[in-house]
Amino acid sequence: MSTFKTLADPSASNIAEMVIQGNTMGATKSTRHLGDYAGGNREIRNLAERLLHTEEANAAQMKQFL
């Protein structure tokens, strides 16, 4: 699907929008999983939190290309 979107509009703005949407969906899912996680393994929680922060940072960095 993303290949067709980039073929239709290969502009930096369009690609940035797709990256933002993907990272936002990932951040939402990560947040949901973190809330549901009942395990006590701190290493797993830290890894999930790092992933969440990375997804949020990626989306923020792409905004300059919109």
Q: What angle (nearest 5°) sits at the alpha carbon of residue 7, between those of residues 57 and 20?
A: 15
Half-sphere exposure of 44 (CA within 13 A, CB side): 9
Q: Which two tokens stand for residue 53?
A: 């922060």
Q: What is the pLDDT of residue 8?
A: 80
pTM beyond 0.85? no
In this prediction, residues 9-18 reach a mean pLDDT of 91
Distance CA 47, CA 39 (A): 13
Q: What angle (nearest 5°) sits at the alpha carbon of residue 30, between those of residues 4 and 20?
A: 35
pLDDT bracket for residue 1 (50, 70, 90): low
Q: Give the residue extent of every domain in the chain.
A: 12-60
